[in-house]
Amino acid sequence: MTEKAIDFAYLSSQTAGDHELERELLALFAQQCVAHLRTIHAAADRQVRMDAAHTLKGAARAIGAWQVAEAADRIEEGLAGPEQKASETALDALALAAAEARAVIARFDCAA
């Protein structure tokens, strides 16, 4: 697990150093991770899965969770590609990146 899961310097620049806003954004992102991962793994409709990956990618970029954003992008690309499916490797990478980000968020929240 790595603190690199969240780019806190980037997040701070986005919030003008407002730690309370950072905490709110991180908590919201952690909740979004759970919801969007569930949709990406379980939804029957490919477009719904693509939309969840796209939304998660944007949320991750907003807070500096670059590994989550990259992994979600690979899912979205796989679903949009000719095979119209996400590889198990891509799904595993997203789950791992999201778990690492959520663990860092939990430690950040506990440190407050």
**Tell me: the pLDDT tens digits for 48-101?**
999 999 999 999 999 999 999 999 999 999 999 888 888 899 999 999 999 999
Q: Which residue has the tokens 């500096």?
A: 64
Average pLDDT, the chain: 93
Query: 32 pLDDT exceeds 80?
Result: yes
Which of helix, strand or coil describes residue 85? coil
Q: Which domains does the chain have, with CATH numbers?
A: 3-111 (1.20.120.160)
pLDDT score, position 109: 74
The CA-atom distances, in angstroms, between 13 and each of 4, 34, 58 are 16, 25, 17
Q: Which is more confident, 10 or 2?
A: 10
* Claim: this prediction has a pTM higher than 0.85: yes
* Whole-number Å distance between alpha carbons of 85 and 109: 35
Q: Read off the pLDDT band of 4 (50, 70, 90).
A: confident
Q: Read off the pLDDT band of 108 (50, 70, 90).
A: confident
